[in-house]
Amino acid sequence: MIKAVRGTRDLLPPETALWNFVEAKAREVFRAYNFQEIRTPVFEETQLFARSVGEETDIVSKEMYTWEDRGRAQSDKGQSLTLRPENTAGVVRAYIEHKLWERGLQKLYYIGPQFRRERPQKGRYRQFYQIGAEVIGPPSAGSESPARDAEVLEMLATFLDRLGITGWTLELNSVGCPNDRALFNEALRKALEPVVAKMCVDCQRRAVTNPLRVFDCKIPEDQPIIDKLPRISQFLNQPCRQHFDEVQAILKATGIPFTLNDRLVRGLDYYTRTAFEFTHGGLGAQNAILGGGRYDGLSESLGGPQAPGIGFAIGEDRLVMSLPQSANAVAPQPDVYIAPLGAGMNREAARLARELRGEDIVTELGDESFRLKKSLETASKMGARFALIVGENEVKAGSFALKNLASGEQTSAPRAELARMIRNSVIASRVQIAPENK
């Protein structure tokens, strides 16, 4: 038997209802903040990620799915292509290619799959899904403003609250500008020299290629060493410090709680200034739901104009795991199960189903070959609220038996009143997830 490839999975009903619920809430919140959707290809030129994410990051050096795309002739050397491991680089590439700066400040969001070849674990897959957004544009449009950073963070807090996720923590840091990081990296190299031999193999490599990545280490034995290393907050220049202070001030003014974490550096090289993560205690040691930050020089590094930006990516797989138990209520169930009884009743049942579905009533069809007992058992198993019995006598009378499957009560419903009766009894009582206050 052929199975799904390791690190991938099938999303099946009713779980897909949760995913649709999350994505609908995301679109609803993003619309309120005037974000618009962008859709980019799932694969790009490999150099896009090497130049933006960083050749020495684990993503580029270890985790990307890359291949040579053949030319038209078998002997032609093709270009190197990569399944996207993240989507910010693709959005910025599209921003440059389509000259979106001519339209002013761009507030864009995306929802879709990403791909990384890493060790599968709880909530982490090789094909995974992200919900993300980017605010990018020319400096004249206010793209550098700390107000943009605070707006994005406030939007994310609103989104998590709308989902009913409580107990989240916003961790905040500034990773400064490239000059700050150059000084910080030099200090890190010096601090690591006498102790790096005691650290894991990855940290020994990172200490040479990109010392900042040492802070990504999750090996428990390395943490006491990392705790004693210099922090980026000691190396921020005055403009970066002022920018970070203003972000905090706006968050306090809007009532968004946060904690400062000067070990937070994020895993991609393009980040500048504000870096952040939202974490949730229900996910264990790997507790980040989402993260992001500012990337003021990314456009220039890809050959575009100056276009400061800030963005984030939500791990949708892990976000769904964080939903409260009440989220199970979003799984759809039929409002009514139509039970046709006798030869020729499938046609009558289909006509009724079309009428009811046109009234936004979730309708499931049985089959005329079923006996009534089997139809009622099937309706109950599906979780239908009502069973509508359609037989020859009912069709002639123009009135149908409507059975409440929870109470057992059965009433006669004229065809003209059928949709109203079901809607009044069912639509108003459909379970909704009420947003919980954080």
Residue pair 68/78 in contact (Cβ under 8 Å)? The answer is yes
Residue 176 three-state SS: coil
Model pLDDT, residue 166: 87
Model pLDDT, residue 76: 61
Say yes or no: 290 and 347 in one domain. no
Residue 318 to residue 126: CA distance in whole angstroms: 13
Residue pair 106/74 in contact (Cβ under 8 Å)? The answer is no
Residue 185 to residue 156: CA distance in whole angstroms: 31
Model pLDDT, residue 38: 98
Q: Residue 242 belongs to what domain range?
A: 15-177+237-327
Write the CATH number for 65. 3.30.930.10
Model pLDDT, residue 22: 93
Tokens of 257: 């709680």
Residue 153 to residue 278: CA distance in whole angstroms: 9
Say yes or no: 366 and 262 in one domain. no
Residue 145 to residue 4: CA distance in whole angstroms: 45
Model pLDDT, residue 280: 83
Distance of CA 353 to the CA centre of its chain: 35
- Report the alpha-carbon angle 224-226-232, nearest 5: 145
Number of domains in the chain: 2
Residue 117 to residue 350: CA distance in whole angstroms: 48
- Report the alpha-carbon angle 379-383-388, nearest 5: 40
Per the listing, tokens 């020089």 go with: 297
Residue 139 preceded by cis peptide, ω within 30: no
Say yes or no: 244 and 287 in one domain. yes
Q: Tell me which of 301, 327, 353 is where a domain ends.
A: 327
CB neighbourhood size of 161 (10 A) = 16
In order along its 438 residues, the chain shows pLDDT tens digits of: 999 999 899 999 888 989 999 999 999 999 999 999 999 999 999 999 988 877 666 677 778 989 998 766 555 667 899 999 999 999 999 999 999 999 999 999 999 999 999 877 776 789 999 999 999 999 999 999 999 999 999 999 999 999 988 889 999 999 998 888 888 888 888 998 898 888 998 888 888 888 887 887 878 888 999 888 988 888 899 999 999 999 999 999 999 999 999 888 765 667 889 999 998 875 555 578 899 999 998 999 999 999 999 999 999 988 988 887 655 556 678 999 999 999 999 999 999 999 999 988 999 999 999 999 999 999 999 889 999 999 999 999 999 999 999 889 899 989 999 999 888 876 555 544 344 433
Say yes or no: 291 and 414 in one domain. no
Q: Single out the residue of 377, 391, 379 nearest to residue 340, CA to CA.
A: 391
Say yes or no: 321 and 418 in one domain. no
Q: What is the largest CA-CA distance in the chain?
A: 92
Say yes or no: 318 and 355 in one domain. no
Residue 282 three-state SS: helix
CB neighbourhood size of 19 (10 A) = 17
Side-chain-facing half-sphere of 168: CA atoms under 13 Å: 31
Per the listing, tokens 């499931």 go with: 364
Say yes or no: 271 and 348 in one domain. no
Model pLDDT, residue 329: 56
Residue pair 361/335 in contact (Cβ under 8 Å)? The answer is yes
Model pLDDT, residue 233: 85
Say yes or no: 52 and 109 in one domain. yes
